[in-house]
């Protein structure tokens, strides 16, 4: 399956899951759908039938509230049956409404923000000293860059020259209770990472070709960790959700659900 | 106690290549033997405790048994959520080592008084909470930790604590460590380096009491506890920790459960000697601050004086 088709399926499954479970966080899930699709279709060296293979690339979703896209991309990439997604949010289900490491293919649980990058640093550092070839990818939200733990890890990654680490910032410009740079200014983000000795790549986070080049550039960059600042649209793909804070919280009713699926199926 | 820890860790690391030590820019004149022998398994990560715990959890995914080492509240309270989530929830093979239990860094002030962290850590699932009473126990616990796959907290004293036991002790997780037996109803439970004070006080005051060190605040060997409280129904607990949620509280909870389940016929009296619900804001040695906060034994605590 190519990345475009995968992204489409991820978006549709994500909206279905959120609608079925009456759950939140669809906006920030749709904003990372293209990033995940490109990673899982064209970039990551992963083994859906051998998920603990030590040579696998590690992909950590730190913004765990966007788990529906993550579960969906794993399902549509063959890690587990797509039908399992129907369990999302049900009583007793392991498909929690934040990413759970009890799900096949998920490396770490996440929910509280600012955890994924330090753990990713530990994994990448371990790979370095054990001379292992796999790469580590960590996806964070832009609001998550408020967390001090990330900035500790940013220092760590460049100090230890973790060029096997790629941070992806889902820069959809909206966080939990306002616009990202109104709540707490993270700009100039690119300059900050440059100053912290990271290799910075800024892309349109919905352009698959650009994302693919960005991940290739990151992999080829030696001696520095790379950050892909992916400019995205919260709620991307569903007209009434795009750039609307409301869809950090709300689940679509039946009518809006139908409209969303129609738009995403085109 | 920290020297006993590092010496034993060095011994373990000679044969156990999974052992990795991260220090949070602390450990001067303590951890160098490990650093020199195993430079590839040593990291001074800097003053970034949240990151330290996350990195430890990530390294553990690479098959390491990762020790993080710092002092007082820094590797515990400062990064408690990372400990709960990155380490305990993921059942990561990470050992948290804090030096300076209680008032060991007395005159450095409240920032350096580790007086609440044991209680917080014992509420976290998957976490084993160790609090050795002397260097022999610290050494035994280090060996246990080197061979244990999962989260563990090692609450260590500082330096120069006297050995209470006469020789190496053999422990398994949960064990109470008997120091003295008695035919009276009295039993004194002690955890941490204040054990030295306790045994000397008992000896000097000719008190007839059983004495147990409690190297594991969580879990506790239920059979052993049952056997002890069946023989002794007058319990005194001494610890250098807040009264709330410390060893005394843990014992009250567990003894009460045993009583509720009908395992013991009489609910023992349990007297807690621990830090009251307050901070200390004056300078002082560990001994001074222990006295000031009421961590003293007196004859009237014991039933058969």
* DSSP sequence for chain B: -HHHHHHHHHHHHHH-TTEEEEESS--TTTSHHHHHH-GGGEEE--S-HHHHHHHHHHHHTTT-EEEEEEETTTTTGGGHHHIIIIIIITT--EEEEEES-BTTTGGG-GGG-B-SHHHHHHTSTT-EEE--SSHHHHHHHHHHHHT--S-EEEEE--S-PPP-SSS-----TT--EEEE--SSSEEEEEESTTHHHHHHHHHHTT---EEEE-SEEES--HHHHHHHHHH--EEEEEEEEESTTSHHHHHHHHHHHHHHTTSSSSPPEEEEEEE-SS---S---HHHHHHHTT----GGGSS--
Are B137 and B188 within one domain?
Answer: no
CATH code of the domain containing B127? 3.40.50.970
Of the candidates A13, A25, A173, the one whose C-alpha atom is nearest the C-alpha of residue A98 is A25
Put residue A223 in one of left, alpha, beta given phi > 0 → left and psi -120 to 50 → alpha.
left
Range of the domain at B41: 2-156
Beta bridge partners of B22: B43, B68
Are B146 and B99 within one domain?
Answer: yes
d(CA A18, CA A78): 21
Asked if B58 lies within 8 A of A115 by C-beta distance, the reply is: no
- The verdict on residue B169 lying in a domain is no
Q: Which chain B residues touch A159 with a CB distance below 8 Å?
A: 46
> Can you count the helices (H) and strands (E) in chain A?
10, 7
Q: Which chain A residues touch B43 with a CB distance below 8 Å?
A: 125
**Residue-wise pLDDT tens digits, A5-52:** 999 999 999 999 999 999 999 999 999 999 999 999 999 999 999 999
Range of the domain at A75: 3-265
d(CA B121, CA B242): 13
Are B200 and B257 within one domain?
Answer: yes
Asked if B50 lies within 8 A of A129 by C-beta distance, the reply is: no
- The verdict on residue B161 lying in a domain is no
The domain tally of chain A equals 1
Size of interface A-B (CB pairs under 8 A): 87
| Contact indicator for B151, B94 with CB cutoff of 8 Å | yes
Are B56 and B126 within one domain?
Answer: yes
Asked if B40 lies within 8 A of A101 by C-beta distance, the reply is: no
Rounded mean pLDDT, A120-138? 98
- The verdict on residue B163 lying in a domain is no
| Contact indicator for B261, B281 with CB cutoff of 8 Å | no
Q: Which chain B residues touch A54 with a CB distance below 8 Å?
A: none
| Contact indicator for B98, B154 with CB cutoff of 8 Å | yes
ipTM over 0.90: yes
Rounded mean pLDDT, A196-221? 98
Half-sphere exposure of B46 (CA within 13 A, CB side): 14
CATH code of the domain containing A172? 3.40.50.970
Q: Is the dihedral of CA B106, B112, B116, B117 positive or negative?
A: negative
Are B126 and B202 within one domain?
Answer: no
d(CA A111, CA A102): 14
Half-sphere exposure of A161 (CA within 13 A, CB side): 5
pLDDT at B1: 95
- The verdict on residue B211 lying in a domain is yes
Beta bridge partners of A178: A175
pLDDT at B303: 83
Are B15 and B135 within one domain?
Answer: yes
Rounded mean pLDDT, A52-74? 98
Segments of chain A assigned E as strands = 58-61, 136-141, 165-171, 174-175, 178-179, 199-204, 226-231
Half-sphere exposure of A207 (CA within 13 A, CB side): 11
| Contact indicator for B148, B66 with CB cutoff of 8 Å | no
- The verdict on residue B278 lying in a domain is yes
Chain B residues bordering chain A (beta-carbon distance below 8 Å):
40, 43, 45-46, 48, 50-51, 53-64, 81-82, 85-86, 89-90
The domain tally of chain B equals 2
Q: Which chain B residues touch A115 with a CB distance below 8 Å?
A: 54, 82, 85-86
Beta bridge partners of A226: A166, A199
pLDDT per residue of chain B (305 residues) written in tens, 0 to 9: 999 999 999 999 999 999 999 999 999 999 999 999 999 999 999 999 999 999 999 999 999 999 999 999 999 999 999 999 999 999 999 999 999 999 999 999 999 999 999 999 999 999 999 999 999 999 999 999 999 999 999 999 998 999 999 999 999 999 999 999 999 999 999 999 999 999 999 999 999 999 999 999 999 999 999 999 999 999 999 999 999 999 999 999 999 999 999 999 999 999 999 999 999 999 999 999 999 999 999 999 998 64
d(CA B129, CA B118): 7
H/E stretch holding A124 reads helix A116-129
Q: Pairing mode, if any, of strands A58-61 and A136-141? A: parallel
Asked if A155 lies within 8 A of B46 by C-beta distance, the reply is: yes
d(CA B186, CA A106): 53
- Cα of A148 to nearest chain B Cα, Å: 9
Chain A residues bordering chain B (beta-carbon distance below 8 Å):
101, 107-109, 111-112, 114-115, 117-127, 129-130, 132, 148-149, 152-153, 155-156, 159
Asked if B58 lies within 8 A of A129 by C-beta distance, the reply is: no
Are B112 and B17 within one domain?
Answer: yes
- The verdict on residue B277 lying in a domain is yes
Which residue among A127, A149, A159 places its CB closest to the CB of B50?
A: A149
Q: Which residue of A has its CA nearest to B83?
A: A115
| Contact indicator for B196, B134 with CB cutoff of 8 Å | yes
Asked if A156 lies within 8 A of B89 by C-beta distance, the reply is: no
Asked if B58 lies within 8 A of A155 by C-beta distance, the reply is: no
- Cα of B51 to nearest chain A Cα, Å: 5
Q: Pairing mode, if any, of strands B128-130 and B216-218? A: antiparallel
Are B222 and B117 within one domain?
Answer: no
Asked if A119 lies within 8 A of B58 by C-beta distance, the reply is: yes
Are B221 and B96 within one domain?
Answer: no
- Cα of B36 to nearest chain A Cα, Å: 17
- DSSP letter for A82, please: G
H/E stretch holding A155 reads helix A148-159
- The verdict on residue B171 lying in a domain is no
Are B244 and B99 within one domain?
Answer: no
Class of residue A34 by CB neighbours under 10 A (exposed 0-12, middle 13-18, buried 19+):
buried
């Amino acid at each position: 399956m190519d990345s475009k088709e995968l992204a489409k399926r991820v978006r549709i499954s994500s909206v279905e899951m959120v609608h079925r479970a009456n759950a939140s966080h669809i906006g920030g899930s749709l904003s990372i759908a293209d990033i995940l699709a490109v990673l899982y279709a064209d970039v990551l060296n992963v083994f859906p039938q051998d998920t603990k293979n030590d040579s696998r690339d590690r992909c950590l979703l730190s913004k765990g509230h966007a788990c529906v896209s993550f579960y969906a991309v794993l399902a549509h990439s063959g890690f587990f049956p797509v039908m399992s997604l129907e369990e999302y949010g049900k009583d007793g289900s392991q498909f929690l409404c934040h990413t759970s490491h009890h799900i096949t293919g998920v490396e770490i649980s996440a929910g509280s923000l600012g955890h994924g990058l330090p753990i990713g640093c530990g994994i990448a550092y371990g790979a370095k000293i054990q001379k292992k070839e796999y790469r580590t990818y960590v996806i964070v939200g832009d609001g998550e860059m408020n967390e001090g733990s990330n900035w500790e890890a940013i220092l760590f990654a460049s100090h230890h020259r973790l060029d096997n680490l790629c941070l992806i910032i889902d820069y959809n410009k909206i966080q939990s209770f306002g616009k990202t740079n109104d709540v707490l200014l993270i700009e100039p983000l690119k300059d900050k990472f440059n100053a912290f000795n990271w290799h910075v790549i800024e892309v349109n986070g919905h352009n698959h070709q650009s994302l693919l080049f960005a991940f290739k550039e990151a992999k080829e960059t030696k001696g520095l960790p790379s950050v892909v600042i992916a400019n995205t649209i919260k709620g991307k793909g569903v007209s009434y959700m795009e750039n609307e804070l409301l869809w950090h919280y709300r689940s679509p009713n039946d009518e809006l659900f139908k409209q969303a699926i129609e738009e995403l199926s085109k | 106690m920290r020297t006993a820890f590092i010496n034993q860790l060095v011994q373990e690391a000679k044969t156990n290549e999974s052992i990795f030590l991260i220090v949070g820019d602390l450990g001067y004149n303590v951890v160098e033997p490990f650093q020199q022998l195993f430079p590839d398994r040593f990291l001074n990560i800097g003053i970034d405790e949240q990151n330290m715990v996350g990195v430890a959890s990530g390294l553990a995914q690479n098959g390491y048994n990762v020790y993080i080492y710092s002092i007082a509240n820094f590797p515990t309270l400062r990064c408690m959520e990372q400990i709960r989530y990155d380490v305990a929830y993921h059942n990561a093979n990470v050992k948290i080592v804090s030096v300076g239990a209680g008032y060991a860094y007395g005159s450095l002030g409240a920032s350096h008084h580790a007086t609440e962290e044991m209680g917080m850590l014992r509420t976290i699932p998957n976490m084993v909470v160790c609090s050795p009473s002397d260097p022999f126990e610290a050494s035994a616990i280090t060996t246990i930790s080197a061979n244990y796959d999962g989260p563990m907290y090692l609450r260590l004293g500082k330096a120069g604590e006297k050995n209470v036991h006469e020789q190496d002790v053999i422990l398994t997780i949960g064990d109470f460590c008997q120091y003295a037996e008695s035919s009276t109803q009295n039993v004194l439970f002690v955890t941490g380096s204040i054990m030295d004070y306790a045994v000397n006080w008992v000896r000097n005051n000719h008190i007839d009491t059983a004495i147990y060190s409690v190297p594991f605040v969580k879990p506790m060997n239920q059979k052993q506890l049952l056997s002890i409280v069946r023989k002794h129904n007058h319990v005194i607990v001494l610890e250098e920790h807040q009264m709330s949620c410390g060893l005394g509280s843990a014992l009250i909870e567990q003894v009460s459960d045993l009583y509720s389940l009908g395992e013991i016929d009489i609910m023992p009296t349990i007297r807690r000697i621990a830090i009251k619900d307050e901070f200390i804001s004056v300078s002082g040695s560990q001994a001074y601050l222990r006295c000031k906060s009421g961590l003293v034994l007196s004859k009237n605590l014991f039933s058969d004086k």
